[in-house]
């Protein structure tokens, strides 16, 4: 079974940088894809991008391209989501999820990382 | 990019009733890549259905999925108290629908 453990809640000011993490454990996780999903307060789910832990091959939702960076460290089976300059509109819950090969579904989810950006 | 449009936005039903949730794709998609998730307040989403028809591990058989062309349907045959939640459709590991909230009438 796969388990995804995300880093803790963050409170930041506009313009600050941030990197949150998603550490995976379980069988052969290094051969898996990890996705990031944003959920703004009271809103729906938005796919941000997906990274292959094995070689860091990354696919972005065009709406998030250039706004965030997704990276990974396969030696510790961890995926990251990074901002260089946060905005208030980045305030949201961020989930990571394992994208299963069969059907490309997100079958295991992290617990979420709450990011609050406020002056 | 495929757009998924869910309807209705909110469904008000009583326990024991049947719920029918719709997800329409803006273009033809392979049914292998259509999934449904359930999300309860304060929780991460949970996979319910994958490949349009297949229940994920541990999902009760009152949940079922079907398709007709570019229209996909999630049916909950008899609502249990724990089924009141928000449901999302999802395609190819990318686009989500905007969600349907199933609330207690």
User: pLDDT for B2-41, tens place per residue?
Assistant: 999 999 999 999 999 999 999 999 999 998 899 999 999 9
Torsion region of A53: left, alpha or beta (phi above 0 gives left; psi -120 to 50 gives alpha): alpha
User: Strand order of the sheet with strand B19-25?
Assistant: B4-7, B19-25, B71-76, B63-68
| CB within 8 Å: B37 and A106 | yes
Which residues in chain B are contacts of A37 at CB distance < 8 A?
45, 96
The residues near A71 (Cβ < 8 Å, ≥ 6 apart) are A51, A56, A58, A79, A80, A82
Ramachandran angles phi, psi of B104, nearest 5°: -75, 130
CA pair distance A60, A74, nearest whole angstrom: 19
pLDDT digits over A28-71, tens only? 666 789 999 999 999 999 999 999 998 999 999 999 999 999 99
pLDDT band at A11 (very low <50, low <70, confident <90, very high): very high
Give the closest-approach CA distance of A107 to chain B in angstroms: 6
Rounded-to-integer distance, Cα A103 and Cα A2, Å: 17
- Percentage of the residues of chain B whose pLDDT score is greater than 70: 100
| pLDDT band, very low/low/confident/very high, at B49 (cuts 50, 70, 90) | very high
Q: Where are the beta strands (DSSP E) in B26-78?
A: 34-39, 46-50, 54-55, 63-68, 71-76
Q: Per CB distance under 8 Å, which residues of A are interface residues toward B?
A: 33, 35, 37, 44-47, 50, 61-62, 95, 97, 99-100, 102-107, 109-112
SS3 B32: helix
Using only C-alpha atoms, chain B has a radius of gyration, in whole angstroms, of 13
pLDDT for residue A2 is more than 90: no
Residues of chain A positioned with their CB less than 8 A from the CB of B32: 103
Minimal CA–CA distance to A29: which of A61, A9, A5?
Answer: A5
Q: What does the pLDDT read at residue A83?
A: 98
Digit-coded pLDDT (tens) for B57-88: 999 999 999 999 999 999 999 999 999 999 99
pLDDT at position A30: 65
Rounded to the nearest 5 percent, the helix, strand and coil shares of chain A are: 10, 55, 35
Name the residue among B34, B29, B33 with its Cα closest to residue B70.
Answer: B29
Question: How many whole angstroms from its chain centre is CA B64?
Answer: 9
């Amino acid at each position: 079974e796969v388990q995804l453990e995300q880093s803790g809640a963050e409170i930041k000011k506009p313009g600050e940088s941030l990197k949150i993490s998603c550490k995976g454990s379980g069988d052969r996780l290094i051969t898996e894809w990890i996705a990031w999903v944003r959920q703004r307060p009271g809103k729906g789910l938005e796919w941000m991008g997906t990274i292959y832990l094995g070689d860091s091959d990354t696919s972005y939702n065009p709406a998030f391209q250039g706004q965030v960076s997704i990276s990974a460290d396969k030696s510790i089976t961890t995926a990251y989501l990074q901002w260089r300059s946060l905005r208030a509109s980045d305030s949201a819950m961020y989930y990571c999820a394992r994208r299963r090969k069969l059907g490309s579904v997100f079958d295991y989810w992290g617990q979420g990382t709450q990011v609050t950006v406020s002056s | 990019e495929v757009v998924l449009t869910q309807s209705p936005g909110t469904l008000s039903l009583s326990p024991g009733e049947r719920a029918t949730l719709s997800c329409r794709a803006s273009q033809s998609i392979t049914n292998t890549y259509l999934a449904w998730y359930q999300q309860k307040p304060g929780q991460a989403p949970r996979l319910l259905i994958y490949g349009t028809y297949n229940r994920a591990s541990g999902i009760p058989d009152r949940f079922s999925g079907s398709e007709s062309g570019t229209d996909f349907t999630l049916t909950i045959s008899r609502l249990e108290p724990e089924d009141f939640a928000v449901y999302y459709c999802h395609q190819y590991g990318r686009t989500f629908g905007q969600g349907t909230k199933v609330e207690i009438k």
